[in-house]
Structure 1
Amino acid sequence: METLVAEKIQTTGQKTHQNRPIRRVTVLGAGIMGSRIACHFANIGVDVLLLDMVPKDLNDAEKAKGLTLDNKNVRNRIVNDLFQAAIKASPAPLYNTSFANRIVLGNFEDNMKDIATADWVIEVVVERLDIKKLIYEQVEKYRKPGTLITSNTSGIPIHLMSEGRSEDFQKHFCGTHFFNPPRYLRLLEVIPGPKTNPEVIDFVMQYGDRYLGKTTVLCKDTPAFIANRVGVYAMMSVIKATEEFGLTIEEVDKLTGDISGKPKSGTFRLSDVVGLDTTVNVANGLYNNLPNDESKETFKLPAIVQKLSENKWLGDKTGQGFYKKIKNAAGQSEILSLDLKTLEYRPQQKARLSVFELTKGVDDLKKRLQILINAKGKEGDFMRATTYDLFSYVTHRIPEISDELYRIDQAICAGFGWQIGPFETWDALGVQTTVTKMEAAGKKPAAWVYEMLANGHDTFYKVEGGIRKYYDLQAKGYKAVPGTEEFILLDTLRGNKVVWENKGATLFDIGDGVLNLEAHTKMNTLGPEVIEGINKAISIAEKDFRGLVIANEGENFSAGANLGMLFMFAVEQEYDEVDLMIRQFQNTMMRVRYSAIPVVVAPAGLTLGGGCEMTLHADRVQAAAESYIGLVEVGVGLIPGGGGCKEMALRLSDAYEAGDIELNSLQNAFMNVAMAKVSTSAYEAFDMKYLRRGDKVTLNRSRLIADAKESVLELADAGYTQAKQRKDIKVQGRTGIALFKAGIAAMRYGKYISEHDQKIAEKLAYVMCGGDLSYPQVVTEQYLLDLEREAFLSLCGERKTLERIQSLLNGGKPLRN
């Protein structure tokens, strides 16, 4: 199979300039990383051979069956067990469970010869040079000349691994360091060996970007490369500062979480998830192998880390680390926190530092960073100490680990999940101002920073002519960030490419006659400003442009409609206002579908409720692979009211025409909505009928808007004509309603759902089946929209629905009343 995925799912991607198709990959080593790397190649449609060791002894189950060590199942037991553990893991390594069929399992002794058919061999065995070299000897016996051979090592020097190998092996060998979990963390560090053919590096960099969806960062062959070198330094610096300033682990996890543009888990929780042993191994390796690093003492393990390591309190994998999950006296799960002073676990304490009140409601990350760095008290001291320490450190790593500063930012963002990197953060705080404060704190940056400022360059990045540029040390000026030429980055267009904007949305001209509408409300909810923006964007596009993309660069496409306004009207029993809101939303979604120009919606991340409904009504969807799409309104006591029920009924009607089994498909779609199921990827969304044949998937999120623009142009070039509303939707009427009511009653009888759940589900069934019709027949879209709106309105008058909405608005979990 080619690198493009299966027939029904079209994945965007262009061939790299070299004629090197990757049809089959062999992964050597089926541990946590190897099995998941194999899964990610399967995700993109590649056939994978996954190999591991042959067992030396029979286990009890095999002995009981009378098996011998020669039995094939015994010989593949290790790889089978590791692979089964991987595909059952959470988060899931596969976009769709069916993709597991693309992976064939084997062992090093029986199947090493099969690598002769591989286009790429990836070694992911234990981090020991002697073992890797033994594996490479076997590889050389069977690999065909020209086959790529790469190592996923996280720390062993690349030049040591290729020593003694043939010339062809060394020319085609390099490091490809994926981050765990490979499906979700976007970083792929590519590390050339001393004899690696430059064309091989160029190919791997492009392939990782276009096909694997990665941020590919070219690294030097230095200890821990870039991301771990900087990321682990930052972690160790934070852990030491925690003790120095007398903060709790909850306070530090809040300070180093999403409030400061880092993963929500924060430092200590992240350590538990990754495994403290991993951090310890990298830190020890760096401490022992960096004689010329001026800050190497930071890598020396703090006493608390040393103690946890000795106790084998390594985090989630051992059941306890900085946090510990237990069952309390009531049998409920409870998470305890480690007291760093007593080394005893105690109930979690809510982090209540005063700075958290100051940042509450501040959505702009750069403004929050200003508040954090200027905070008073121990939290401000902590933020300044760790931030200035990191700034100083990264300046001294150039040119040691990278000649260009942007690579450090890319690596730390893609590998550790930071929203902006150290140099971008520094820009947000003001470079010159921060340098002065760093000097006062004894954390002077490297000399090149002073030279940059002296030459009148006061930022590390700038935008010129719509192009993002970085300060280049060698050129002593700014250069375009390489690799982004084909991306469309909205932040670079905020100058002279804004066509229209209001508080909640901005309309950009992204070139070639295409507009892009960006929502920027909280969680990109679809309030009045965004609804206005959609209608305005379509009106402008119909007059002067070829088409429209609806997309943003936020973490999530949209969490749905604005529940706050709906709740306010419903509580006041202003049902005419609620009715008007629903009509406006429905009309806007229908305008997305029935405009005179092609409209492509490009979701990524959470695409829920109204965000899903907008996706359903697009002429085409260009979805990021990591799109989590679903109609979740029942969770707040409602049903989809923006055309979601209508659209599912329409799609099922079309499926009937294609020969699908009517009631089975209807039941599956009903359960998806009634249970508020959300796809775990764009690929699963096809199975749930949230995406259709013709919709496309983009692996690299950075390419999403550019790919969506190409979809608009493709539709326009094909002679796009405005469609007419449908009047041929087949619905089941009472036949379907009776089926669903029986199932709903059984669930209520078994106490799986509440009485209010039953009421919501019955209204959903009524709408999706087309209402009280005596037999299956054909209806119009508007008929279904009216049913949908009436049911939605009636639920807005239910006290229990209002209680559910209020619970969610107050930051609580969905209420099951």
Structure 2
Amino acid sequence: MKLDEGQASAIRRVCVIGAGVMGAGIAAQVANAGIPVLLLDILPKSGDDRDAIAKAAVARALKTDPAPFMSPQAAKLIETGNIEDHLARVADCDWVIEVIVERLDLKQALYHRLDAVRRPGTAISSNTSTIPLVQLVGGLPESLSRDFMITHFFNPPRYMRLLEMVTGPATDMALAARVAEFCDLSLGKTVVRANDTPGFIANRIGTYWLQHGVNAAMDQGLSVEEADAVMGRPFGIPKTGVFGLIDLVGLDLMPHINASMKASLPAGDAFLDTLREVPLLSKMIADGYTGRKGLGGFYRINREAGKIKESIGLVTGEYEPSKSTSLPAALSRSPTKLITSTDRYGQYAWSVMGATLAYAASLVPTIADDIVSVDAAMRLGFNWKQGPFELLDVLGPAVVARRLEAEGKPVPELLRTVADGTFYKVENGQTLFLGVDGRYRPVERPAGVLLLEDVKRRSEPLLRNGSAALWDVGEGVACFELTSKMNAFDEQIMKLLDKSIELVKQRYKALVIYTDATNFSAGANLGLALFACNIAAWGEIETLVSSGQRTFKALKYAPFPVVSAPGGLALGGGCEVLLHSDAIQAHAESYIGLVECGVGLVPGWGGCGEMIARWTATAGMPKGPMPAVAKVFETVSVAKVSKSAAEAKVLGFLRPADRITMNRDRLLFEARARALSLVEGYTAPTAPEFRLPGAAGRAAMNLAANSFHRQGIATDHDLVVADNLAEILSGGGADLVDVVTEKQMLALERVAFMRLLRTGATLDRIEHTLETGKPLRN
């Protein structure tokens, strides 16, 4: 992967020792950044291949879903070996990451061996989550202690953004800063500095929360579904809640973490009060019910009964069909109302979250120097929407403190310090946080980080309606933000985009299209389209298609540079707006595709022509009208979506010159910089003219589709959709020697789109997708 310019680092080669799931995942993420990796493990117990363990780890990672590699090509950057034959190669590495079994004696033995072969100043770190740094470096040479640190990745390393870094009194802080910079810029991690305490930050609080959640559910007689419904979305926590998350990480991991905590935590720590023998859990592990990686866990899929989802009874220990649990609407939307409710759900919510938030407050500054680090660790390590102190501000710190006191429970000093105030506040557009000394300090962003949420705190939008907004993000650049549900394109977005183009012409140098939301855009608003079809408002639908085409072309031919900055999903219309931009600065985790065929439609806002133009201009593409068209048909007809920004380049959604940002927090800053780099001497592109393959090309594409149909891969309606797509890509009725203009391509898209929208099979697909979130194969 080619990273953005300026992301160079002093770390040019990395060694990972330990090729288990975590070690292989870390090696894969380093390779995703385009950095060569040496992956070493022990010798196998049998066989002639002494590198078999590391080789098998890479092969396994290439088959794993979700994929550790952003592209298969990244795997080629990993060199495999073993610690008996190849440890001397560490001398060529700038950072060595130890990811072996959690045994202090084995780790220290390895460190002594590494010290004999490494270059002085080579960073050595452990991925441990249970052994304190002071123990890891005990008895090691001073020169090694100076270059040693803990870098705790979260699993899976590609997708989890948190990296906890722990340094010791002897650590060379300049070296630690270089490693942190590499993790930030090249690996895309948010580096949170943790103190050298058991479990560091996220696991210390998160495991306490999980343990408390299990205990309280059993004590209060809640089912696993009820507990997860309470502990999930009402608090901005993933719907896995407590039991679903334990299934995900593995039930067998919990006893190991608990044993480590018991051995290392000081007497009187509240965590110790949660530790108890749970016979049900022990029996599940013994029987192989270790979670998703095993036969199942608290939830399982009973395939013998026809793939029925089941859950275990916490009292009976027997599996029964899982029952969906929905909280009353008022409670599901408000954590404050939920936690103060007197029903069983409210009692469970308070017993778990009240204790967890109090525990978190009691740990600062022990586990981290400030509350900002704790909140970041829980957001990024456990995917909480808000960290503990942000949640306390929602609930009211004084309210929580008074309730703890009324129940005779300890009130943490930090809760007494905040008193009737809040842990965060905004003054003059700047977010401040409460320090342990009772003084407020600004939340500092690292250089190169620009968040739209910060812009919003200190300014008003230039333009706004119910689906989008335009912001001034500084240096003469405006930012167009999508704000509709799933950022789906609708008439309101098109209207504001038209207005934004005119405003940027008059007052700004460039435009960036970006959102802080998890997903860039899920495409067009299918719900509105289905409603319009049901009332036969065909004219209104065609007007929306035409206006979308007109707006996207106005964007393309605007007299200023346009840079789109996607992250997450960029589908359908969300992909088409990228295709009409001068440049794309994509987050590495961008999932881009023209998916219209999956719902029985074709791209309608210029996507077909733009994709043909991209493939035609691709270096090495064979000459003639058919090769580029075949590439587009191959991708669009099956609604292929890239699994990363790197793969989006392979599929043609990103061009070779488009850039990739690894750290999501840096995306807007780098998109703005990219836009500014295009300003001087900018001229809008000229409209393309297409030479398309005509009737023969259409026949060839249909032949390919029919082949898939005979194999049972394509359905009857897939053939209808594919033929409409082939009609557009072949130029309609154009002859092979005819020039097809961009305007004619748009007309072909419009006609095919409206024709398909009038078919019952397409309407069935749209309705099914809206109801289930899954495609209908009809």
TM-score after normalising by structure 2: 0.96
Structure 2 vs 1, CA of residues 313 and 113 (structure 1 numbering), >3 Å: closer, same or farther?
same
- Whether 1:26 aligns to 2:2 is no
* CA positional deviation for 1:107: 0.6
Distance across 1 between alignment mates of 2:112 and 2:88: 12
Structure 2 vs 1, CA of residues 301 and 313 (structure 1 numbering), >3 Å: closer, same or farther?
farther
Q: Secondary structure at the match of 1:810?
A: helix
Structure 2 vs 1, CA of residues 450 and 573 (structure 1 numbering), >3 Å: closer, same or farther?
same
Number of aligned positions between the proteins: 776
* CA positional deviation for 1:334: 3.0
- Whether 1:782 aligns to 2:743 is yes
**Residue 602 of structure 1 contacts residue 622 of structure 1 at CA under 8 Å; is this kept in 2?**
yes
Deviating 4+ runs (over 4 angstroms): 441-444, 656-662
Does 583-592 or 148-157 show the bigger shift? 583-592
- Whether 1:757 aligns to 2:757 is no
Q: Secondary structure at the match of 1:208?
A: helix
Structure 2 unaligned blocks of 5 or more: none
| AA partner of residue 606 (structure 1) | L
* CA positional deviation for 1:163: 2.3
Structure 2 vs 1, CA of residues 190 and 657 (structure 1 numbering), >3 Å: closer, same or farther?
closer
Q: Secondary structure at the match of 2:105?
A: helix
Does 371-380 or 588-597 show the bigger shift? 371-380
* CA positional deviation for 1:359: 6.5
Structure 2 vs 1, CA of residues 741 and 658 (structure 1 numbering), >3 Å: closer, same or farther?
closer
Q: Counterpart of 2:319?
A: 345
1:710 to 668, 673, 682: 673
> 1:294-353 CA deviation, whole Å, 9 max, x = no partner?
312344045243443444421122222112223234xx4333211111111111111133
- Whether 1:524 aligns to 2:487 is yes
Q: Counterpart of 2:43?
A: 54
**Residue 646 of structure 1 contacts residue 788 of structure 1 at CA under 8 Å; is this kept in 2?**
no
Q: Counterpart of 2:576?
A: 613
> 1:734-772 CA deviation, whole Å, 9 max, x = no partner?
232111111112222333222211100110111122212
* CA positional deviation for 1:379: 1.4
**Residue 569 of structure 1 contacts residue 578 of structure 1 at CA under 8 Å; is this kept in 2?**
yes
Q: Counterpart of 2:546?
A: 583
Superposition pairs of residues 395-474 of structure 1, within 5 angstroms: 395-453=361-419, 458-474=421-437
Q: Counterpart of 1:118?
A: 93
Q: Counterpart of 1:65?
A: none
| AA partner of residue 762 (structure 2) | T
Q: Secondary structure at the match of 1:109?
A: coil
* CA positional deviation for 1:368: 3.7
* CA positional deviation for 1:174: 0.4
**Residue 747 of structure 1 contacts residue 753 of structure 1 at CA under 8 Å; is this kept in 2?**
yes
1:625 to 588, 596, 599: 588
Does 495-504 or 621-630 show the bigger shift? 495-504
Q: Counterpart of 1:63?
A: none
Superposition pairs of residues 276-675 of structure 1, within 5 angstroms: 276-301=251-276, 303=278, 304-329=280-305, 332-353=306-327, 355=328, 357-358=329-330, 368-453=334-419, 458-474=421-437, 476-495=438-457, 496-655=459-618, 659=622, 663-675=626-638
Q: Secondary structure at the match of 2:713?
A: coil
Structure 1 unaligned blocks of 5 or more: 59-70, 361-366
Q: Counterpart of 2:120?
A: 145
Q: Counterpart of 1:61?
A: none
* CA positional deviation for 1:808: 2.0
Distance across 1 between alignment mates of 2:284 and 2:455: 49
**Residue 601 of structure 2 contacts residue 721 of structure 2 at CA under 8 Å; is this kept in 1?**
yes
> 1:619-657 CA deviation, whole Å, 9 max, x = no partner?
111111111111111121111111111211222232388
Q: Counterpart of 1:45?
A: 34
**Residue 13 of structure 1 contacts residue 210 of structure 1 at CA under 8 Å; is this kept in 2?**
no
Superposition pairs of residues 116-265 of structure 1, within 5 angstroms: 116-265=91-240
* CA positional deviation for 1:706: 1.1
Distance across 1 between alignment mates of 2:360 and 2:142: 36
Structure 2 vs 1, CA of residues 507 and 548 (structure 1 numbering), >3 Å: closer, same or farther?
same
Q: Secondary structure at the match of 1:75?
A: coil
* CA positional deviation for 1:201: 2.1
| AA partner of residue 242 (structure 1) | A
* CA positional deviation for 1:118: 0.8
> 1:127-170 CA deviation, whole Å, 9 max, x = no partner?
10111111112111210111111111111111211223222211
Distance across 2 between alignment mates of 1:613 and 1:114: 47
- Whether 1:107 aligns to 2:82 is yes
Distance across 1 between alignment mates of 2:335 and 2:474: 33
* CA positional deviation for 1:570: 1.5
Structure 2 vs 1, CA of residues 307 and 500 (structure 1 numbering), >3 Å: closer, same or farther?
same
* CA positional deviation for 1:452: 2.5
> 1:568-612 CA deviation, whole Å, 9 max, x = no partner?
222222211111010111112112211122111111111111111
Structure 2 vs 1, CA of residues 697 and 334 (structure 1 numbering), >3 Å: closer, same or farther?
same
Q: Secondary structure at the match of 1:401?
A: coil
Structure 2 vs 1, CA of residues 297 and 472 (structure 1 numbering), >3 Å: closer, same or farther?
same
Structure 2 vs 1, CA of residues 359 and 499 (structure 1 numbering), >3 Å: closer, same or farther?
farther
Q: Secondary structure at the match of 2:293?
A: helix
Q: Counterpart of 1:743?
A: 704
Q: Secondary structure at the match of 2:414?
A: helix
* CA positional deviation for 1:13: 4.5
Structure 2 vs 1, CA of residues 812 and 719 (structure 1 numbering), >3 Å: closer, same or farther?
closer
| AA partner of residue 211 (structure 1) | S
Distance across 1 between alignment mates of 2:320 and 2:111: 49
Distance across 1 between alignment mates of 2:61 and 2:291: 19
> 1:214-265 CA deviation, whole Å, 9 max, x = no partner?
0101111111111100111111111112123322112222333344322232
* Percent identity (aligned): 37
Does 597-606 or 740-749 show the bigger shift? 740-749
